[in-house]
Structure 1
Amino acid sequence: MSTQPEVHEVDEQTETAVTRRTAELAVGGVLALVAILVMVSNYQLGAGWASDGPQAGYFPFRLGLAIFIGSLVVLRQAYVSKDRSAFIEKGQLRLVATVLLPLIVFVAAVQFTGIYLASAVFIGAFMIFVGKFSWWKALVTGCATSLVLFWIFEAMFQVPLPKGPLEAFFGY
């Protein structure tokens, strides 16, 4: 048996980034705000009972009220519990950011380049930077995927998706 005191090294992978309490307070607060928005907008539509039955906002208003009450319960429980356990650790948060930040850029790029070019770049960049594939495999896969999606949606199903200058250059 060792008499040495245990030394706990702080591992960057297990360091807490967000506590469970913080996450529950944030979710409860956002849900409360959404519920208030739902209630106000449906009250303006008419949330009462008319001579011919419920008005347009009758049921959505009550649903918003139920969500609001539920969010207040979540907020109270989170505030009282003082739970400081990890909701997400820094290593996990880094993995989420690895996907979320490029996805935000992709969604913004669709507005300017169209969905097919943005998808090809998104897939290729993910393959290179996250998957560590060679550039030529990423280029072939990104382009092939976008061409197949173009063929499926535009030619076969005739569903127009957002297009950019590249598609306009080819007459679409």
Structure 2
Amino acid sequence: MGLNVFGTPITVDTVKEMPEYHESKMIYSADCATVALEMKNAEGHPLTLVDTHSWEGRICETPYPMVILNGQWGAFLHGQYHNGAASEACVVYNGLNFDWVLSFTNSNSNTNTKTNRVYTNIRTPQHNGVDWDAIKSNLDNGKTTHTGVTAGVRMFASIGDISKCTVEAILTISDALDNVDIQ
């Protein structure tokens, strides 16, 4: 397991050990995802790195995690070049049935022409590549928060509005949110 992946994986065995599931005959992905969401991360299945793209900046000392198990957080560091004004990139992970696309711009500029933005997209796995231009166009029109929703899954992303901030994303199945109050 990579050094930049942390948290206890939430598996069927993990859920079976929880008192509220002792009487359950079957444990489903939604059960695993619900438990993981309460721990701030849930997709129900492992995520595998599929592709990355940097429009500006570079991946730094902490690379993209290759695999993120259900219930874990994955972390990476993408930064600007020495004289650069921004870190702008996209990462694509594959889960059970979907590709999860997270793109972000983190501007270090003191001008008001560029602000921090995120854009998410959940799609069926693509075998003919990623349309980086379309993602970039959507990112250029993005905001500091974005929620992607499709076919019973959701991806929440946010970025701070200061230079050198953190991007956070949560990937989950909608069934996991049935017992969670989202304001």
TM-score, normalized by length of structure 2? 0.27
Quick check: which has more Rg, 1 or 2? 1
Higher strand share: 2
Higher helix share: 1
Greater relative contact order (Cα 8 A, min sep 6): structure 1 or 2?
1
